[in-house]
Amino acid sequence: EKETEPASFVRIVALHMRSIELMAMRGLLDRLLRHGRQRPVGGIFAAIPKPAPEDLDSEYAYLLGIPQPVVVRLLEEHAVGLGARVLHGGAVAGFEQDGEGVTVELADGRRLRSRCLVGCDGGRSTVRKLLGVPFPGEPSRNATLMGEMEVGVPPEEVSAGVARVRETQQRFWLRPFGAGVYSVVVPAAEVGDRAQPPTLEDFRRQLRAVAGTDFGVHSPRWLSSFGDATRLAERYRVGRVLLAGDAAHIHPPTGGQGLNLGLQDAFNLGWKLAARIRGWAPDTLLDTYQAERRPVAEDVLDNTRAQMELHSTEPGARAVRRLLTELMDFDEVNRRLIEKVTATGIRYDFGAGPDLLGRRMRDIGVAQGSLYGLLRRGRGLLLDRTGRLTVGGRSDRVDQLADPTAELDVPCVLLRPDGHVAWIG
């Protein structure tokens, strides 16, 4: 980690349904819930205010708003508890890979040796640039200011102002977080990367330009800006070096998918790296990381582009938004859009087979409590209703449960450590 200290600002992020499921699989959810606030899933696509259908396919059908530093701290504590060593203040300056591993040179002159290197160093990734991996896409056409701050007017005045402006301007909102703090989003005056973060005066000026009032904003927690650039790395792997998170893909923050997409990249890659390093999986297993996750990123780039278009004030975009709002009255349409944003509809391509093959398993009830509770060790799981199967010589990496009462529609399934169905019997 190149930063020496945790972030000085407290940005609230939203963990989506699939990310919440992953946290439950590793026993982290209870700790996260103590620091977060559950929010309805409805309205997650393009901020179209439609309540979610009641029969969403997850035991965790909510969003979890939580301070990002809390997520970082809990994940780091979990990693350290499992034996990881976290180095702060270590920016990558260069690396060399060979047949046995990767030698990494840090900016302060330190050198590290590892079996593999994963670049999770953001949209301007040094690792990606040193690899020479192209990062094609589209530059920003719009820029938006975003931050958290207090307001100096009553809540009803804020609500009335937001309702009035959003009749014609979708890239605008003031959303309460409690204790007088609001998330503020307003179009910026200029498009393109800013050399410096925006100031509170920038927010006041743009709020007055768009809404006719600055709502008395003051005491900012953090201030930032973003564009709507979309870029996707052509490759996620070059030898022993891989890319994940924003180093592999950037997109507009519509739907709050960025952190979740990166977290799910890591969950997909982590168990595969462990399997390869421990020697019980072939090198080609690492190739499945790109094969599975890059199409997911392509879909996220598409749906965030679509959502940005739906925020446009142009007459055509507003007409499409009205039509989509009507279509979302159909639960199947609403459910499909929620599945896209929350990553609960993903099906990895494992070849021909039942629809469940390649999909995630929801947290069903089993004799020993819950399915996700059985996945906390980060191992595969053979769940067998017949009692006739065995994992054979793979008991060092695959657990087994014979349970005739398991809430399965098939006799047995083999789950990967990330909860996706690898085989159906």
Q: Looking at the domain covering 143-227, what would its CATH class be?
A: alpha beta
**Whole-number pLDDT of residue 196:** 77
Residue 20 in this model has a pLDDT that exceeds 90: yes
pLDDT number for residue 12 = 80
Cα(363)–Cα(372) distance, rounded to whole angstroms?
Answer: 6
pLDDT of residue 314: 87
pLDDT of residue 338: 98
At residue 129 the predicted structure's pLDDT band, cuts being 50, 70 and 90, is very high
- pLDDT tens string 50-74: 999 999 999 999 999 998 899 999 9
The mean pLDDT value for 116-136 works out to 97
Provide mean pLDDT across the span 71-78. 95
Least confident of 111-120, 172-181, 359-368, 378-387: 172-181
How far apart, in whole angstroms, are the C-alpha atoms of residue 48 and residue 179? 26
Closest CA to 207 of 254, 156, 146, 155: 146
Q: What is the mean pLDDT of residues 246-251?
A: 97
For the chain, the average pLDDT equals 94
For range 82-111, the mean pLDDT: 94
**Confidence check: pLDDT of 46 > 80:** yes
Q: Which residue has the higher pLDDT, 270 or 195?
A: 270
How do the domains of the chain map onto residue ranges? 92-136+231-311, 143-227, 365-424
Tell me how far apart the alpha carbons of residues 425 and 414 are, in angstroms, rounded to a whole number.
Answer: 8
- CATH code for the structural domain at 365-424: 3.40.30.120
What percent of the chain is predicted at pLDDT more than 70? Answer: 98
CATH for 92-136+231-311? 3.50.50.60
pLDDT grade for 142, boundaries at 50, 70 and 90: confident
- In single-letter form, the type of residue at position 173 comes to W
Q: Which residue has the tokens 């998330």?
A: 183
Between CA 390 and CA 384 the distance in angstroms is 9
pLDDT at 294 over 90: yes
Cα separation, 12 vs 364, in Å, equals 30
- Write down the pLDDT at residue 164: 93
pLDDT of residue 191: 61
Q: pLDDT grade, residue 195 (50/70/90)? A: low
Burial class (CB in 10 A: 0-12, 13-18, 19+), 396: exposed
Q: What is the pLDDT of residues 339-366, one digit of tens each?
A: 999 999 999 999 899 999 999 999 999 9
Q: Please, are residues 217 and 204 in contact by the beta-carbon 8 Å criterion?
A: yes
Q: What is the mean pLDDT of residues 383-404?
A: 94
In this prediction, residues 407-420 reach a mean pLDDT of 96
Cα–Cα dist 54/40, whole Å: 11
Query: What is the pLDDT confidence band of residue 11, given thresholds at 50, 70 and 90?
Result: confident
Q: What is the pTM of this model?
A: 0.91
The alpha carbon torsion through 313, 315, 316, 317 (nearest 10 deg) reads 20
Instruction: Quick: pLDDT tens for 212-228.
Output: 999 999 999 999 988 88
Average pLDDT over every residue of 396-404: 95
Confidence grade of residue 192 (pLDDT, cut at 50, 70, 90): low
pLDDT at 194 over 60: no
Mean pLDDT confidence for 119-147? 95
Task: Quickly count: other Cβ atoms within 10 Å of residue 139's Cβ.
Answer: 12
Residue 193 has pLDDT above 60, yes or no: no
Residue in this structure with the two tokens 């259908």, named with its chain if needed:
53
pLDDT of residue 135: 98
**Does residue 34 have a pLDDT over 70?**
yes
92-136+231-311 and 143-227 agree in CATH topology: no
